[in-house]
């Protein structure tokens, strides 16, 4: 009996020590795996068996490191996009300038042709004027600066054209001597037919609003003859058949004329200087008059 009890105790002790030894061995292995993980923790995938019946090899999902590196693209800075340069409209401007130039050239060409045809048909010539007679019947310069004068003027106008008729408005006349207004007057409006000479007569007198200084009065009293300049300003239009043009301004200037100053009550004789006159066209553009 005592021997049986002893054997049981010995068996229990051996069993206890063996289980303790196994637990210690397992704890040691677990601790070693934590510190130095073995290759068994990442087992290699089994190789596909190609000798089988053509089965599809098992597919394993890629590891997290491989997936991140495969899907992420390398950073590349985007190139800076510059705004497109503005389109130049030289083509349109050049075309407009070209067409405008061609139109102007064509207009000038047509105007030149029309002027040439007009000249060949009508042969236009400007009218001529000359002084036929001038008499200074009264002339007196007072000490108060007032001038009293009376003149008689005969002016002849001639139309040298064969197919053109001149239409004159009323004309204003001014006679000067050394810058002093000796007499003013006017001609009535008239029509001058082709190849026609028209005699115009007017009575002139010094304007009462004019006041002379003492030097001008003294110079006029000393003179026995007065050099005169005659200016005639009017407007004239042209009639060619049934067509009339717009009237334009002209100035008739007669120079190189001198008359005797009357002395006492005896009236001087009429002088016939036969002075030729110049005709100038006066074009008015807005506020400016081009002689």
Has residue 113 been placed in a domain? no
Whether residue 69 is predicted with pLDDT greater than 70 in this model: the reply is no
Domain encompassing residue 178: 125-290
Give domain status of residue 53, yes or no.
no
Span 98-109, average pLDDT: 95
Q: For residue 199, what are the contacts with CB-CB under 8 A and spacing of at least 6?
A: 132, 154, 155, 156
Q: What is the pLDDT of residue 291?
A: 56
Query: Is 219 part of any domain?
Result: yes
CATH code of residue 178: 2.60.40
280 lies in some domain: yes
Least confident of 56-60, 62-66, 85-89, 117-121: 62-66
Task: State percent of the chain over pLDDT 70.
Answer: 65
Angle of CA points 153, 256, 150, to nearest 5°: 30
Q: Is residue 46 part of a domain?
A: no
Global pTM value? 0.60
What is the count of structural domains for the chain? 1
**Reported confidence tier of residue 230, pLDDT bands at 50, 70, 90:** very high
- Flag whether pLDDT at 67 surpasses 60: no
Q: Is residue 97 part of a domain?
A: no
User: Is 271 among the domain residues?
Assistant: yes
Domain membership flag for residue 57 = no
Q: What is the pLDDT of residues 126-162, one digit of tens each?
A: 999 999 888 888 888 887 788 888 999 999 999 999 9
């Amino acid at each position: 009996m005592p021997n049986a009890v002893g054997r049981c105790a010995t068996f229990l002790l051996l069993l206890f020590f063996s289980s303790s030894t196994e637990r210690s061995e397992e704890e040691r292995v677990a601790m070693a795996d934590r510190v130095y993980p073995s290759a068994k923790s990442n087992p290699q995938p089994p190789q596909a068996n190609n000798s089988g019946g053509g089965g599809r090899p098992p597919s394993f999902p890629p590891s997290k490191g491989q997936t991140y590196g495969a899907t992420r693209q390398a950073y590349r800075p985007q190139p800076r996009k510059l705004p497109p340069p503005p389109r130049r409209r030289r083509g349109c401007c050049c075309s407009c300038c070209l067409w405008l130039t061609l139109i102007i050239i064509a207009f000038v060409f047509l105007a030149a042709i029309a002027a040439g045809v007009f000249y060949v048909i009508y042969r236009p010539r400007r009218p001529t004027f000359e002084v036929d007679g001038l008499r200074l019947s009264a002339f007196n310069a007072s000490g108060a600066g007032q001038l009293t004068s009376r003149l008689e003027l005969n002016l002849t106008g001639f139309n040298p054209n064969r197919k053109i008729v001149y239409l004159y408005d009323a004309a204003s006349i001014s006679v000067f001597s050394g810058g002093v207004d000796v007499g003013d007057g006017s001609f009535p409006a008239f029509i001058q037919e082709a190849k026609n000479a028209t005699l115009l007569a007017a009575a002139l007198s010094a304007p009462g609003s004019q006041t002379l200084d003492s030097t001008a009065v003294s110079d006029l009293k000393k003179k026995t003859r007065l050099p005169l300049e005659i200016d005639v300003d009017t407007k004239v239009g042209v009639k060619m058949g049934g067509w009339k043009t717009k009237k334009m301004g002209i100035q008739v200037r007669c120079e190189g004329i001198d008359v005797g100053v009357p002395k006492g009550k005896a009236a001087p004789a009429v002088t016939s200087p036969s002075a030729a006159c110049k005709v100038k066209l006066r074009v008015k553009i807005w506020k400016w008059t081009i002689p």
